[in-house]
Amino acid sequence: MAFRVAVAGANTLAGREALRALAASDFPVAEVTGLGTGRSAGQEVSFGQDRVLRLRALEGFDFAGQDLVILALGEAESRTHAPRATAAGAWVVDLSPAFRLEPGVALVVPEVNAAALERNKRKRIVACPSPSATFAALAAAPLAALAPLLRVNVVSLQPASGAGKEGMDELFAQTRASFVNDIPAPQHFPKPIAFNLLPQTSAFAEDGATRDEALLPLELRKILGPDLKAMATCLRAPVFVGEALVLQLEFAEAVALAEARAALRNAPGLSFFDTREEGGYPTPLDVAGEEEVSVSRLRRDGSVPHGLSLFVVGDNLRKGGGLGAAQVAEALWRKGMLAKRLTSQE
């Protein structure tokens, strides 16, 4: 059985990656429709190597007959259009923050907690975690299988593409202008991003944390377990694509380094680099365009009784974005959930 799929925001960075990942996957597509907002309707995007989609207008689009809708939109737009799609009988996979913490909505990293799809099927919405939560969960989950995980401390260095095309354009413009000593005033970021680090990726709350820093621990608790203690610090880095995390993990009991290495080496979705050679670790530049998340710099954290530290890096637009949505779609298909219409008793 093949399915009718619509990708809303198909012209965005994440939307294009979702189309690319779907075209390369085993997911059976009968028909795919690209949707755009505002003046993006009418633009053309690629689906696979030999197909071009002309975007239809999202506003007023009739979702009847669609089996799956991937939303690569802003939070407010997802809240508007996800209910329209589910009311028409479609499953929704949402890449925005809109439903990540909503009760009854599964927040899924397929390699970690695909079982949540069946536990949270009533609303027919699946939320994709932020790239930070996706990468942290992928790295922490195989180690949590060795010993109870008590605490996660995350330092996230997020690229300009995490702020969309505008963020990438601003980094490019400032980098180019720096060579003639004529850096334009920041428009998208609060301070210059070229050759700089900003300790802010979203708006501040009254407690001094940014929104990203407040939400990331809640996402990790929803994916890895409600009793997990978590802390996040999020920075914007002068990188176009690729997010890096420093993870400090605290366990209830000792985890042998040899066991940790084996668990990371065998974990799905991960590439583990166990090298002490200079330059033997992956960087954001190395993982751009890659599907797997890379882990290196595994070592003990002596500041707690049973601690480990890791360096994690992944492509925020692929695994942290469009590829993640396509993998959720594939998980729904393999579980037989896309073809099933819920009854009133479920």
Tens of pLDDT along 130-168? Answer: 999 999 999 999 999 999 999 999 999 999 999 989 999
Does residue 202 share a domain with residue 296? yes
Q: Domain of residue 89: give its range.
A: 3-128+321-334
Q: pLDDT tens digits, residue range 103-125?
A: 999 999 999 999 999 887 778 99
User: How high is the pLDDT of residue 343?
Assistant: 39
Confidence category of residue 340, pLDDT binned at 50, 70, 90: low
Q: Which two tokens stand for residue 324?
A: 């993640």
User: How high is the pLDDT of residue 120?
Assistant: 75
The answer to whether 176 and 158 have CB atoms below 8 angstroms apart is no
- Does some domain include residue 279? yes
Q: The CATH number of the domain where 73 resides is what?
A: 3.40.50.720
**pTM exceeds cut of 0.85:** yes
Does residue 309 share a domain with residue 251? yes
Tell me, rounded to whole angstroms, the distance of Cα 40 from its chain centroid: 24
Cβ burial 168-195 (10 Å sphere, 16+ → b, else e): bebbebbbeeeeeeebeeeebbeebbbe
Q: Is the dihedral of CA 282, 283, 288, 292 positive or negative?
A: positive
DSSP letter string, 253-289: S---HHHHHHHHHHSTTEEE----STT-S--HHHHTT
DSSP symbol at 335? T
Does residue 328 share a domain with residue 252? no
Q: Which residues contact 304 (CB under 8 A, 6 or more apart)?
A: 151, 250
Q: pLDDT tens digits, residue range 286-302?
A: 999 999 999 999 999 99
Q: Is the dihedral of CA 81, 84, 86, 88 positive or negative?
A: negative
- Does some domain include residue 165? no
Does residue 68 share a domain with residue 123? yes
Q: Which two tokens stand for residue 187?
A: 């428009």
Please choose, from the candidates 171, 123, 173, 186, the residue with its C-alpha nearest in 3D space to the C-alpha of residue 284: 171
First to last CA, the chain: 23
- Long-range contact pairs involving 272-277 (C-beta distance under 8 Å, separation at least 24): 272/296, 272/298, 274/298
- Does some domain include residue 204? yes
Does residue 139 share a domain with residue 288? yes
- Does some domain include residue 110? yes
Confidence category of residue 28, pLDDT binned at 50, 70, 90: very high
User: How high is the pLDDT of residue 211?
Assistant: 95
- Does some domain include residue 340? no
Does residue 295 share a domain with residue 155? yes
Please choose, from the candidates 11, 19, 100, the residue with its C-alpha nearest in 3D space to the C-alpha of residue 55: 11
pLDDT of residue 346 exceeding 80: no
The answer to whether 342 and 121 have CB atoms below 8 angstroms apart is yes
pLDDT of residue 345 exceeding 60: no
Q: Pinpoint the alpha helices (H) of the chain.
A: 13-24, 75-87, 110-113, 116-119, 131-144, 165-178, 211-224, 257-266, 284-287, 323-334
Cβ count within 10 A of residue 281: 16
Q: pLDDT tens digits, residue range 35-76?
A: 998 888 889 999 988 899 999 999 989 999 999 999 999 999
The answer to whether 127 and 107 have CB atoms below 8 angstroms apart is yes
Alpha carbons within 13 A on the beta-carbon side of 8? 30
Q: The CATH number of the domain where 201 resides is what?
A: 3.30.360.10
Confidence category of residue 342, pLDDT binned at 50, 70, 90: very low
Q: pLDDT tens digits, residue range 241-281?
A: 999 999 999 999 999 999 999 999 999 999 999 987 788 89
Residues of the chain above pLDDT 90, percent = 87
- Does some domain include residue 339? no
